[in-house]
Amino acid sequence: MDRRSAPGILTLVLIAGLGALSLNIFLPSLPSMAAYFEADYGLVQLAVSAYLAMTAAVQVLLGPLSDRYGRRPVMLVCIGIFLVATIGCLLSTDIITFLAFRMVQAAVAAGIVLSRAIVRDMVPADKAASMIGYVTMGMALVPMMGPMVGGVLDEAFGWRASFAFMGLFGVIVGIIVWLDMGETNMHRSASFGAQFRSYPELFRSRRFWGYTLVATFASGSFFAFLGGGPFVASVVLGMNPGELGLYFGFIALGYMFGNFLSGRYSERMGVNRMMLTGCIISAFGLALSLSLFLSGFTHPMTLFGCILFVGTGNGLTLPSANAGMVSVRPHLAGSASGLGAAIMIGGGSALSAGTGALLTPERGVYPLLGVMLLSALMSIATTIYVMRVSREMAAT
């Protein structure tokens, strides 16, 4: 470890993984938290949905801050804020205080934003896609294991144990960042306001919008699945919670496999071809699932087996889309990462909520698959748009 040099891959995985862990480790504890705070489940659930919205908002600020003041100080300050907020969650005795501290915890989203910007500081775009693939492959382990760890902790020690675990993990990550994460932003902006004034430069870039929309529509299939998958699995397919938890692992396994392939081949194929390959794989899996349901096959694998393709496709697409997003204007890598991530999460959240509203027992699985397939097809269309714009720029 050397705090004067660029961080290692493991450090980047840990700072991104801390943000992912804070989102889902306590999900099994939501019912017991509702009972403890004597609050409606819907109010307690804001710890997830409102936190996600706050994360999107925070990412808009974190990118410009890191472009102005550097990646290292912003990351260390955000980890410090996260730790103070985590202590506040642990000590809260009413739901309003808890939710207030929970929103402050969104500062840890810095890890997700800055890991991409740091990679882009270190290497060119095609190499960045490869490194981001490896980072997100490692990070994918966290949302796979988080709810299982949280469930065990809740049964053994109560809901606060998950937040204590978050705090301990945050301390460890903070120490590693202090020891290993040197500054990589060697071209800082003149002022914080200058970064916001640079947003029109990003908005005017057709390639930035193209890469951002590819990421939004590709991840939109996943967010739509999060919004409607549990309903379809339990109400339409008759699965119990244990089966649902097991089958949900398919999309995470697919995502890890796609990230592995991205890490191996992105530099060789280039970001645009890798994106197109991933988007086509996702759309193929969803079209296959829809065809099987229409043919009368209603086994859970008809849905979740094909969802493996969505995970793999996203694992191929998102690292390249993120690398392209932060490479359009390299001097604005932090701003582009934060703004792009906010648009992606905001769009995905809207698709998730919309899908949930469309589902009824009578409609079955078709609204879910329809929204997911439409989102995947839109990701293909936006990728083709990016490739066309890139060819035009190369020709001039």
- The domain that contains 344 carries what CATH number? 1.20.1250.20
Residue 135 lies in a domain: yes
Is pLDDT above 70 for 267? yes
- 217 and 161 together in one domain: no
| pLDDT score, position 132 | 67
| pTM across the whole model | 0.70
What digits encode the pLDDT tens for the residues 320-366? 887 788 777 766 666 677 778 778 877 877 777 677 778 788 888 89
Q: Do 183 and 219 share a structural domain?
A: no
Inter-residue contact 372 to 224 (CB < 8 Å): yes
**pLDDT at site 242:** 58
- On whether the CB atoms of residues 282 and 221 are closer than 8 A, the answer is yes
The total domain count for the chain is: 2
Task: Write down the pLDDT at residue 289.
Answer: 93
Final residue in a domain of this structure, among 167, 194, 221: 194
Q: Is residue 2 part of a domain?
A: no
Task: Say whether both 17 and 44 belong to one domain.
Answer: yes
| Tokens, residue 325 | 């997003």
- Is residue 278 situated within a structural domain? yes
Residue of 131, 392, 359, 166 lying closest to 267 (CA atoms): 131
Among 194, 216, 240, the domain boundary falls at 194
pLDDT at site 379: 93
Residue 290's pLDDT is 93
For the segment 7-34, what is each residue's pLDDT rounded down to a tens digit? Answer: 887 888 888 888 878 877 777 777 788 8
* Average model confidence (pLDDT) across the chain: 82
pLDDT at residue 266, rounded to an integer = 77
| 191 pLDDT tier (thresholds 50, 70, 90) | low
61's tokens: 């600020």
One domain, residues 391 and 314: yes
Confirm whether 312 is domain-assigned. Answer: yes
Pair 41, 104 in one domain: yes
- 219 and 358 in a single domain? The answer is yes
Stretch among 2-16, 102-116, 310-324 having the lowest mean pLDDT: 2-16
Both 312 and 349 in one domain: the answer is yes
Instruction: Give dist(CA 266, CA 268) in Å, integer.
Output: 5
Tell me what pLDDT residue 244 has: 64
**Spatial CA neighbour of 387 closest among 271, 278, 281, 283:** 271
Percent of the chain with pLDDT over 70: 83
Q: Where is the domain boundary, 136, 164, 194?
A: 194
Q: Is the pLDDT at 198 greater than 70, yes or no?
A: no
Q: Which of 18-22, 55-59, 204-208, 305-309 has the highest mean pLDDT?
A: 305-309
pLDDT at 67 over 70: yes
- Do residues 302 and 293 touch, judged by C-beta distance below 8 A? yes
Residue 291: domain span: 199-395
Residue 74 lies in a domain: yes
**CA 19 to CA 104: how far, in whole Å?**
13
Residue 130 has pLDDT above 80, yes or no: no
- Do 58 and 150 sit in the same domain of this protein? yes
Same domain, 174 and 75: yes
Binning pLDDT at 50, 70 and 90, where does residue 233 land?
Answer: confident
The closest alpha carbon to 319, from 63, 66, 140, belongs to: 140
Q: Is 169 found in the same domain as 40? A: yes
Position 50 in a domain? yes
Each as own residue / partner, the long-range contacts of residues 283-290 (CB below 8 Å, 24 or more positions apart, any chain) are 283/313, 283/373, 283/376, 283/377, 283/379, 283/380, 284/309, 285/309, 285/310, 285/312, 285/313, 286/221, 286/310, 286/369, 286/372, 286/373, 286/376, 287/373, 289/369, 290/366, 290/369, 290/370, 290/373
Q: Is residue 3 one of the residues assigned to a domain?
A: no
pLDDT of residue 126: 61
Cβ atoms of 208 and 336 within 8 Å: the answer is: yes
Looking at residue 283, its pLDDT comes to 95
Please give the average per-residue pLDDT across 259-283, as a whole number.
Answer: 87
Residue 241 has pLDDT above 60, yes or no: no
Decide if 4 is inside a domain: no
At residue 31, the pLDDT reads: 74
Are 270 and 308 found together in one domain? Answer: yes
Greater confidence, 391 or 290? 290
pLDDT over 80 at 74, yes or no: yes
Judgement on whether residues 162 and 216 belong to the same structural domain of the protein? no
